[in-house]
Chain A
Amino acid sequence: MNKPLNTPSSAGVRLGGDTIEVMAMTALLIFSIVFFSLLAPGFLSATNFSSMSMQLPELGLLSLAMLVPIISGGLNLSVTFTANIAGLTTAWLVQGLLAGMGILSVPMAIMAGLVVGAAAGFLIGVIVAYVGAHPILVSLGAMIFLQGVGEFLTRGGGISGMPEVFQTIGSGNFLGVPIPMLIFLGAAAGLMYVMHFTRTGFSIYMLGSNPRATEYSGINVKRVLITVYTISGLLAGLAGMVMLARFNSVRVGHGESYLLITVLACFLAGANPFGGFGRVLPLVLGLMSLQVIASGMNLMGASQHLATAVWGAFLIIVMALRMPFIKQS
């Protein structure tokens, strides 16, 4: 761990490195907003914007949880079910063990949920780091396992009826911005700090672009990998909390359909499938564009499914344009 790794100047350069992606994603966002405000009546209304900012955070947090492993050259297929299990833990603690503890029970249960999410990620990280199996496989096994644990604990049902506090978190506003959106933006800012301004973040980028060079440069690759998946699990756990708060209930499999869309969002926003590249800011902007497209199409009377199809087509087109510039390792 040498000092030059983390000088402010290199962090600045790396931040500057995403100018193109940020510009492309901003252009996409502006274009889609203009497009739909011309075509879809009511797109520019306050109601539409508030409903968009209610829907974005779940997918957004899950996408952040997917981004970190992708930067490290892997993938975490278990994010959705990690979120489920974290949500279940919190719901179960609030209603069961901690029910008699009054107001203190909620923050404690939320902490526990986040810890469970991080622990799930930690275990995946340990297996990836020490066994050396492909992260897709490890997280796939973990995904099936976590889904099974959820099914076993809930017997296929759900837990609902959370205390009032969750409703406030899920549908409340702070200075006119929905609280889930603030949580998402806070998490994005936090992740941006970790990825761009800390030694850990730098090691993750380095690991993604060249694992062997990273190992030779004296970085503890195993520890970095474990950190990657722990961060991923923690963010997924946060997504679970937001989902729990927004729906006032938790059910295994809720948000399952987001899984491939989180990968789609990361690749769309310039993350390299071979690792090493991918930034938080373009991802946030890209997610906003995806949300704008979905909401705009919805307002125009098209179904959510057509929006899904458009997202898929979009990904293919963007990647076809981007592929000649991607470094393959």
Chain B
Amino acid sequence: MRNLLSRTRLGTEGVLLGIILALSIVLALTTDSFLSLQNLFDLLNNQSVNIIFAVGLVVVLIAGGIDISFAVAASVVQYVVMTLLIETLGGGSWALGIILSMLVGTLLGLFNALLIHRFRIVSIIVTIGTFNLFFGLLMYFTGGVSIYDIPDWLYYSIPLLDLPAERGSATLYFPAAVMAVMVMLTWFILARTGFGRAVYGFGSSPEAARRSGVSVWKIHAFAYGWLGLCAGVAGLMQAHIVQEVVPNALIGQELPILAAVVLGGATLGGGRGSVLGAVLGVLLLAVVQNGLNLLGVTPYAFRMIVGLIILIAITTSNLGNLLPRSTRAKNV
């Protein structure tokens, strides 16, 4: 079995894709609504925010860091951008909204990068610090009050693709397109540019990368800045989907998204992971939840099952460590 796996070189993405396909086939056979266009579109609509977060986070993980603060950063972006747009810019538009969100998000990410690079603090500590700092300040300045009165352009959902389906119609909305753009951009940078390769190199061996002339501050600035940018975009999309801005709505999302990205093959040591893997990691958990929902399992059991899947995945992907040393050596 192990030999077969290593010979075919499926990689984490292949295995994930296989599991998702197998799950989908089972769900298509056992439920009548899983394979409907409506359900698949809904799945994409609902997961677009998480996927945007995930492709940002995978960059940081590949660069050998970790970030806990991105969901809070997204909430800060929502609030700052919305307040700016409503109070000083007279409503604004989509273009302005996205640009501002990217800008504020990137700034927050660069703040993390600055602390990590300039003061050489470990990324997990910095981001736990900024998590508390951002969250505390956000709640202090907003007083925990939500913004319901968001501009019209953000309030009304934009259908991209409207296809007739069994019940009414199946619609794919604007956030799905934004997600696709962010996924493609991140993939392009990581997989098709020299700089992207340098990010991988830096993640697997910072010292070797530094000695071969990779500029460390650029890597740090890009990784955390890009996650900040993604978080900004994701924050705007989340506000668009739920049609309001709630200061603590995204808090608590960071750890499950981290788990999904790791499920997609990124490691905490850096140097490994891919955009496709991150997307598949989020989708796997989404398909599982969607399937449980369609099968009529109580929603209270979802998290338990998702947690169990994560534990099993961690255990099986490291199965090699359970084998005796001699067998392990052969496969290295």
Q: List A residues at the B interface (Cβ < 8 Å).
A: 77, 127, 130-134, 136-138, 140-149, 151-152, 155-156, 256, 260-261, 263-264, 267, 273-274, 302-303, 305-313, 315-316, 319-320, 323-324
Q: List B residues at the A interface (Cβ < 8 Å).
A: 66, 68, 115, 119-122, 124-126, 128-140, 143-144, 252, 255-256, 258-259, 262, 267-269, 298, 300-308, 310-311, 314-315, 317-319, 321-322
Main secondary structure of the interface of B (DSSP, over half): helix
Which of the residues B125, B131, B307, B322 comes within 8 Å of A145, measured between beta carbons? B307
B21 → A minimal CB distance (Å): 23
Are A309 and B128 also in contact (CB < 8 A) when A127-B315, A140-B259 are? Answer: no
Q: How far, in whole Å, are A145 and B119 apart by their CA atoms in the complex?
A: 36
A311 lies within 8 A of B132 (CB): yes
B307 lies within 8 A of A260 (CB): no
B301 lies within 8 A of A152 (CB): yes
What chain B residues lie within 8 Å of A324 (beta carbons)?
120
A141 lies within 8 A of B128 (CB): no
A73 → B minimal CB distance (Å): 12
Q: Which residue of B lies closest to A308 (CB)?
A: B136
B321 lies within 8 A of A144 (CB): no
What chain B residues lie within 8 Å of A130 (beta carbons)?
321-322
Are A319 and B121 also in contact (CB < 8 A) when A137-B314, A145-B304, A260-B68 are? Answer: yes
22 A-B residue pairings within 8 Å (CB atoms) = A127-B311, A127-B314, A127-B315, A131-B314, A133-B317, A134-B269, A137-B310, A137-B314, A140-B262, A141-B307, A144-B303, A147-B307, A151-B301, A273-B122, A311-B132, A313-B129, A315-B128, A315-B129, A316-B121, A316-B130, A323-B119, A323-B120
Q: Which residue of A lies closest to B247 (CB)?
A: A305
A315 lies within 8 A of B132 (CB): yes
What chain B residues lie within 8 Å of A151 (beta carbons)?
300-301, 303-304
Q: Which residue of A lies closest to B311 (CB)?
A: A141
Q: How far, in whole Å, are A137 and B269 apart by their CA atoms in the complex?
A: 12
A148 lies within 8 A of B303 (CB): yes
B259 lies within 8 A of A137 (CB): yes
Q: How far, in whole Å, are A151 and B68 apart by their CA atoms in the complex?
A: 24
What chain B residues lie within 8 Å of A132 (beta carbons)?
318, 321
A145 → B minimal CB distance (Å): 3
Q: How far, in whole Å, are A132 and B268 apart by their CA atoms in the complex?
A: 13
B317 → A minimal CB distance (Å): 8
Q: How far, in whole Å, are A36 and B58 apart by their CA atoms in the complex?
A: 43
Q: How far, in whole Å, are A137 and B121 apart by their CA atoms in the complex?
A: 21
Known interface pairs A131-B321, A145-B308, A309-B133; 20 further A-B residue pairs with C-beta atoms within 8 A, sorted by A's residue number: A127-B314, A136-B66, A137-B268, A140-B310, A141-B307, A142-B307, A145-B311, A148-B305, A151-B300, A152-B300, A263-B124, A264-B132, A306-B136, A308-B139, A311-B132, A311-B136, A312-B128, A312-B130, A315-B128, A319-B119
Q: How far, in whole Å, are A264 and B131 apart by their CA atoms in the complex?
A: 10
B114 → A minimal CB distance (Å): 11
B318 lies within 8 A of A131 (CB): yes
B26 → A minimal CB distance (Å): 21
Which of the residues B144, B302, B314, B319 comes within 8 Å of A141, measured between beta carbons? B314
B307 lies within 8 A of A144 (CB): yes
Q: How far, in whole Å, are A149 and B122 apart by their CA atoms in the complex?
A: 33
Which of the residues A140, A141, A152, A312 comes within 8 Å of B131, measured between beta carbons? A312
A147 lies within 8 A of B303 (CB): yes
B319 → A minimal CB distance (Å): 8
What chain A residues lie within 8 Å of B259 (beta carbons)?
137, 140-141, 144
Q: How far, in whole Å, are A141 and B304 apart by their CA atoms in the complex?
A: 10
Q: Which residue of B lies closest to A305 (CB)?
A: B139
Q: How far, in whole Å, are A144 and B262 apart by their CA atoms in the complex?
A: 14
Q: How far, in whole Å, are A271 and B68 apart by their CA atoms in the complex?
A: 19
What chain A residues lie within 8 Å of B319 (beta carbons)?
131
B331 → A minimal CB distance (Å): 15
What chain A residues lie within 8 Å of B124 (beta carbons)?
263, 273
Q: How far, in whole Å, are A324 and B136 apart by their CA atoms in the complex?
A: 28
A133 lies within 8 A of B128 (CB): no
Q: How far, in whole Å, are A141 and B274 apart by their CA atoms in the complex?
A: 21
A219 → B minimal CB distance (Å): 18
Pick the most buried of B66, B129, B269, B310: most chain A CB atoms within 10 A of its CB. Answer: B129
Pick the most buried of A132, A267, A316: most chain B CB atoms within 10 A of its CB. Answer: A316
Are A144 and B314 also in contact (CB < 8 A) when A137-B268, A152-B301 are? Answer: no
What chain A residues lie within 8 Å of B267 (beta carbons)?
134
Q: How far, in whole Å, are A155 and B314 apart by their CA atoms in the complex?
A: 27
What chain A residues lie within 8 Å of B305 (beta carbons)?
148
B136 lies within 8 A of A140 (CB): no
A95 → B minimal CB distance (Å): 19
Are A148 and B310 also in contact (CB < 8 A) when A131-B315, A308-B136, A312-B131 are? Answer: no
Q: How far, in whole Å, are A146 and B305 apart by their CA atoms in the complex?
A: 10
Which of the residues B121, B300, B311, B321 comes within 8 Å of A138, measured between beta carbons? B311
Which of the residues A148, A256, A307, A310 comes within 8 Å of B252, measured between beta carbons? A256
What chain B residues lie within 8 Å of A311 (beta carbons)?
132, 136
What chain A residues lie within 8 Å of B134 (beta carbons)?
309, 312
What chain B residues lie within 8 Å of A307 (beta carbons)?
136
Which of the residues B119, B131, B255 comes within 8 Å of A143, measured between beta carbons? B255
What chain B residues lie within 8 Å of A316 (beta carbons)?
115, 119, 121, 125-126, 129-130, 133
B173 → A minimal CB distance (Å): 28
Q: Which residue of A lies closest to B124 (CB)?
A: A273
A141 lies within 8 A of B310 (CB): yes
What chain A residues lie within 8 Å of B131 (beta carbons)?
260, 312
B307 lies within 8 A of A146 (CB): yes
Q: How far, in whole Å, are A267 and B121 apart by their CA atoms in the complex?
A: 11
Q: How far, in whole Å, are A260 and B305 apart by their CA atoms in the complex?
A: 24
Which of the residues A156, A267, A309 comes within 8 Å of B140, measured between beta carbons? A309
A310 lies within 8 A of B136 (CB): yes
What chain A residues lie within 8 Å of B126 (beta carbons)?
316, 319
B282 → A minimal CB distance (Å): 14
B36 → A minimal CB distance (Å): 27
Q: Which residue of B lies closest to A315 (CB)?
A: B129
Q: Which residue of A lies closest to B262 (CB)?
A: A137
